[in-house]
Amino acid sequence: MPPRLERDADGLWLSPKGKRKPAPKKDAVPSAPVIEACHVDGCGTPASGPRPAPGMVRVPGSKDGAAAHWYCPGRCAAIARARTDLRNVGGRR
Ligand SMILES: [Zn+2]
């Protein structure tokens, strides 16, 4: 079984050997996600419903069955697309 990346309790990535890169001590909250959560109303809602707000972008789900979602245009849609691409690539094997 290939080594897998894992996170420790603080959400930091552990290398397969269990070593841990020292994280730069900034004022980031340890449990905060790497990507700042979007608080725009309707962003990230399943696209089974109507467009939650004008200009929202529908990002299709990945091939492994993830549902399509609405995202606000720009950063959120780009991140969602990238995530979907990664899932598609990962599921190709
Ligand atoms: Zn958003």
pLDDT in tens, 42-53: 999 999 999 999
- Which tokens go with 78? 């780009």
Using a pLDDT cut of 90, give the percent of the chain over it. Answer: 38
The alpha carbon of 82 and the centre of ligand 1 are apart by a number of angstroms equal to 14
CB atoms inside a 10 Å sphere around CB 56 = 21
The alpha carbon of 49 and the centre of ligand 1 are apart by a number of angstroms equal to 17
SS3 76: helix
- How close are the terminal C-alpha atoms of the chain, in Å? 15
For the stretch 14-51, pLDDT in tens is 666 655 666 666 665 556 555 667 888 999 999 999 99
To the question of pTM greater than 0.85 for the whole model, the response is no
The alpha carbon of 62 and the centre of ligand 1 are apart by a number of angstroms equal to 19
